[in-house]
Structure 1
């Protein structure tokens, strides 16, 4: 489990190179919408819930991530980009 602010999580998503959401989804065999939901999206018609818990507060609130696999993959992609 990991805790991060909502704004930090969104900044990571917004910094990802084009196509990263799809690459993560394909690698984990989930839909693109499921990955977007992990980063704060709410399209549960086409994506699944992903074990994030948001508590409202400063800096967008605090997000507890039950599983950091998607976050770890995103951070790895950002490191490759640098």
Structure 2
């Protein structure tokens, strides 16, 4: 399922994740941690894979179209759990 989100909102999600969450997501999906970082705007394609991240210029950092929302959904889940534990 595709999702459209602003780049700045995607970065806010990334910045809201507790330390170590990138590795948790990578382990859960059996992918390289750099692939997860690329999902949130990283560009290390030598170590990590492409993630169906399409950026179009615009307000609020531009518009990002995500081809697959799995990583984003797991990130939201981790953020919610961390709020419950706080």
Q: Name the TM-score, length of structure 1 as normaliser.
A: 0.98
Q: Which residue of 1 aligns with 2:21?
A: 20
- Quick check: 1:37 aligned with 2:38? yes
Unmatched tracts of structure 1, length 5 or more: none
The number of equivalent residue pairs is: 82
Cα distance per residue 1:13-72 (max 9 Å; x no partner): 011001100000011010110000000000001000001110011100000011000000
Unmatched tracts of structure 2, length 5 or more: none
Q: Which structure 1 residue ranges, 4+ long, deviate > 6 Å from structure 2?
A: none
Q: Which residue of 1 aligns with 2:63?
A: 62
Q: Which residue of 2 aligns with 1:8?
A: 9
CA displacement at 1:5 relative to structure 2: 0.2
Q: Name the TM-score, length of structure 2 as normaliser.
A: 0.94
